[in-house]
Chains A and B, each alone.
Chain A
Amino acid sequence: MNVIDVRGDICPVPLLKCVREIKKMKKGEMLTVISDHPPAKRSIPIEMTEQGHKFKIYENGPEFKIEIVVN
């Protein structure tokens, strides 16, 4: 299971770490991104949509996680 914890990071670092990780992965694999930086909740989905990957966002108080399935 691929997980990156970007709590404490601010834009654009969460997005860039996510994109860097996705590049190493194969189709069908899942990446979980854990963050506490609200703008990342918008920027990561925008780029994942642009790249054609599927994702779901789970809120947990000030933190959230985004599960991305590589397409």
Chain B
Amino acid sequence: MTISLEEVENFLKDTGGKIDMNKKPIPYLYLDDETGQPMLMNEKCTIFFSETISILRESLHRVIGEGSELVLRVVGRDMGKKYAQLVMKQFPELEDVSKITQIHELCSIILRNTGFGKIKILELDLKKPFFKAVIKDAPSCLNFSSQPTTYNLEAGMLSGILGRILGVEMAVAECEYNKEEDNYEVTLRRVAE
């Protein structure tokens, strides 16, 4: 399936910056529900955004060493906040649903649509200062061979998304790779005010 530039421009012009939910969305980058395969415009995708992140990680590590992972957490947090703002701007009705649902929706939408993987939330209680989730089908680590697998950028993204929704600063407390299941367990903690 191909979409002309004119069709995209018309779509954007028609929406006026907001998504009309009665119209079919333009197909975009996402992970196939069954296979986890990245898809773009309904076709299998071989080069995707997360590939760029792998290269960025490697370059950063080469320049500043171990501190690069901390930098990636900060970059990820800012990305997560920005993506959350963009989704909320496109779908203002999301402000009307509960914070719990907002967290589930935004984390899932943003990770899937940027090609970072699927999220399963393990612990989410707004009264507690921490949040725990597992991220799977994450393609960003696949071609990153020279450094041990980490997931700090994506964990940072989650902290940014939660920070935007809850209006508090969230920090990455732990980010562990589970080699057997090929997934990542991320723990975020509310920063003391």
Contacts and interface: CB of A to CB of B under 8 A. Distances in A.
A12 B89 CA distance: 13
Given A20-B93, A38-B33, A15 B108 contact: no
Interface stretch (B9-17, B97-105, B154-162): B97-105
B101 A47 contact: yes
Contacts of A11: 105, 108-109
A42 interface: yes
Contacts of A16: 21, 91, 93-94, 97
Interface centre among A11, A17, A19, A20 (most CB of B within 10 A): A11
Query: Which secondary structure dominates where chain A touches chain B?
Result: helix
A19 B96 contact: yes
A57 interface: no
Nearest to B19: A13
Interface residues of A, number: 19
A31 B24 CA distance: 22
Contact of B101 (A8, A9, A13, A15): A15
Interface in B96-145: 96-98, 100-101, 104-105, 108-109, 112
A19 B97 contact: yes
Given A38-B33, A46-B104, A12 B98 contact: no
A8 B96 CA distance: 23
B25 interface: yes
B25 A15 contact: no
Nearest to A36: B33
Contacts of A15: 97, 101, 105
A10 interface: yes
Nearest to A23: B96
Nearest to B108: A39
A45 to B, nearest CB: 10
Interface in A3-49: 8-13, 15-17, 19-20, 38-39, 42-43, 46-47
Nearest to B103: A46
Interface of A: 8-13, 15-17, 19-20, 38-39, 42-43, 46-47, 50-51
Given A19-B97, A50-B98, A50-B100, 7 more contacts: A10-B25, A10-B30, A12-B109, A13-B21, A19-B93, A46-B101, A47-B97
What 4 pairs across the A-B complex have the smallest Cβ distances? A50-B98, A47-B101, A16-B93, A13-B21
